[in-house]
Structure 1
Amino acid sequence: MRVILIFLVFFYMYTPDLQFLPLSIRVLTGLLGLSLYFIDIVGNAFKTGQDTFFNKNILSFWLCLFLSILYCYGSYFYNLSTDLPYITSLFIRFAILFGSAYFIVRLIRISKIEFNIYHILNTIITVTFIQCVIALLLFVSPEVKSVFDSIQKTARNPLLLALMTKDIGSYRILGFGTEFFGAAIESSFSLISIIAIVRSQHELKGMKIIRYGFTFLFIAFVGILMSRTTFIGILISLIFLHLPNQKNIARSKFLRFIYLILLLMVFSIPYIISNAKYQRTFTFAFEAFINYKDAGTLSTQSSDALKESYYWPQSVKTYIIGDGYMSDPAHPEYYYMATDVGFLRLIYFGGIGYLLIWFSGTIAICKVVYNKIGKESWFFLYSIVLVTYLLIVNLKGLADFYNQLLLVFMVAVTSSAKLDLIIEEKSA
């Protein structure tokens, strides 16, 4: 059953278009989940008792989604925008995420396996690890890449196709249904989650320290090769790890293991970069450090280009209600005002109000889960770190953790009792 769960969570997190399916697995499970949800609503309307999925937290989710979409329509109509596809895709995304997460949790409850917040975070981490293994195999083995390419549809995002024509695909590691900036966000969530789990435990046995440590370093390493933005996730995770945690033996052991392996990796970097076969890949990944060594500036070509993306709105109206565009109306495959910056894209679409709505959704989900699991201090700090990461990374591009957090939210709110937060030997 756990293998099936990992499979479903993998295709919930990542959405490759498969040749033999009319829709992605996330969409299919999302439609099934929405159907089950409405069946449960009808069924529970004739029942009494606590065992119901029709609860106030789920109702609050739909209400918040409805109000957010309503706000988007306000900006759309006020600005006489033509960017209706963004609003439509926004609603579809969250509805499908809800349905798919509901389907997964419904399956867990039917199977009656032990499952709580720790289990779902560990499952997400496992799925990210599997994605990194696949991505590395796709890069080093043409045979494996050929097999995976054969089961995927060839249609891609026009912007991604444009990047491929620049030969980026020859030295950038691409995943199975994820690449570039998105891969960094997914990797960073798992890195932060590993630290949260380690910090939440008073003590972990040696093999668990090694397992979590190896998983952390592997996701970090492959994540960097997929997107240099992963460095932000690594830095935030290490700061999180160093925050005071009184009498936490597990944290101390994990710290020692991580730094021992990092020290070995530092000594191996010159050899890795000098490897002719992968030199371009590693030079790209560690460009900032190479530039710092050569020129004394911790910068990259993309960070220099990012400075040119800060086109601040010139109208007060834009700050209040936005311009109603996420995509350039003349060239929909490109971003409005040619800016990648997450904060600016949100402001340009719906003003500061929409910017606040976007981030308050993450805070609201974390608050619901925090209350549901008994106001555990580890999750409170974990939530702060997640939000801090998003605030930082949105200075570069539009990022969120809604995919991951909606699954965590669904596990929490559909539990009939407060969740057991002790990792037992069989589930850690």
Structure 2
Amino acid sequence: MKKTLLTVSVASVLGFSSLGTIDIASASTKINSLKEQKSELQEKQAEVNSQLDEKNDALKDVKNEQASVDQEIKRIDLAVEDTEVKISEKEKQVTEAEANIKKLQGEIAVLEERIAKRNELLKDRARSFQENGRITYFDVLLGAKSFSDFIDRMGAVAVFVAADQDILAEHKADKDELEAKQTEMENTLESLKKMQADLESMKKSLAAQKAEKEKVMESLEHEEEHMHAEMADLEEADKLLAAQKKAIQKAIELEQKRQAEAAAKAKQSSSNGGGGSVSAPPVSSGNFTKPAQGYLSSGFGIRERNDHKGIDIAASGTVPIVAAADGVVIRSYYSTSYGNCIFISHSINGQIYTTVYAHMRQRIASEGQVVSKGQQIGIMGNTGASYGQHLHFELHKGEWNMSKSNAINPVGIVPL
């Protein structure tokens, strides 16, 4: 996931210059400068806390939205379940309709056979009349030889007429029934086609509902992931600013102590008639000292894979790592990228610096600890995103920030 860079910088670098002859105006300026830096940090931390509050509120909104969408997802699930039940019902109805059609087709076949037989009967009757000279029922009656014969003939004719009428009536009824069956079958087929169309429509609706559910879930997951990343960045910034404030406060206290001690020594020197000067502590010359023994295995700047914001010093065996200058440890922790690492804040001639020591096997200095130039703070190692034992060393002129925009090349500044 792409992380959002913070708009506030973190981990202001502080430290302490070497003790020397006190100058009251200069000493007062240093104290005021440190207090101003502390005030600036308090403002930045307030800004970070404000952003954290905003992000917390935004996260609550996301959670509320998730709860709302969760209800919507449950509704979609119920709709999916209902649609599946309807699909099952439609499939059952289709099966029943197909069975009815098959049954109708059988009944129609029987009716068609019955009509065909009756048609043959009527055709036989017609052929009989033709073979007898097209004799009509009237001719039969006129051919009676007596009144009783007439009555008998009249009864026979009535029977024949009734029989023909019955056949014709049955023929018509069968035809009407066949037409009704055919109409019923056509309606059933039309109903079946509509059911099948409804079924396809339901399947499409189900697919759309599932797609909607997946889209909502994906959107929520991305939003939550983004919110947590921003919260993690802000929390890290808040921790660094808190450590920075603590370091500045220590710097103020130590500067006040240094001034008091220098004033007392100056007073004692004056009362002793200007005797020998106070010896400086045994530190290397210059503002910085080399942080570890070894050779420069990788320089500062663009490399094949990334922009190297520091330099690498490599050596084998148990190699002590020391503070490059006087200062206060503002971070001492394990990072997935830096491995065991320490951040030290320095204030040198009024300028703030931060030094970073990464990939250590062991950390000796802890957060808030005051360290002197050349004091051991750890042991060289190969922890975190590291390939082979070395010290990754960074020098920042000003505050350390997540984009490392204040990083400078230590070559020529720190004796390496």
Larger strand share, 1 or 2: 2
The TM tier, using the shorter chain, reads: under 0.3
Greater RCO (Cα-Cα under 8 Å, separation 6 or more): 2
**TM-score between the two structures when normalised by the length of structure 2:** 0.26
Choose 1 or 2 for highest CA Rg.
2
Please state which structure has a larger fraction of its residues in helix: 1
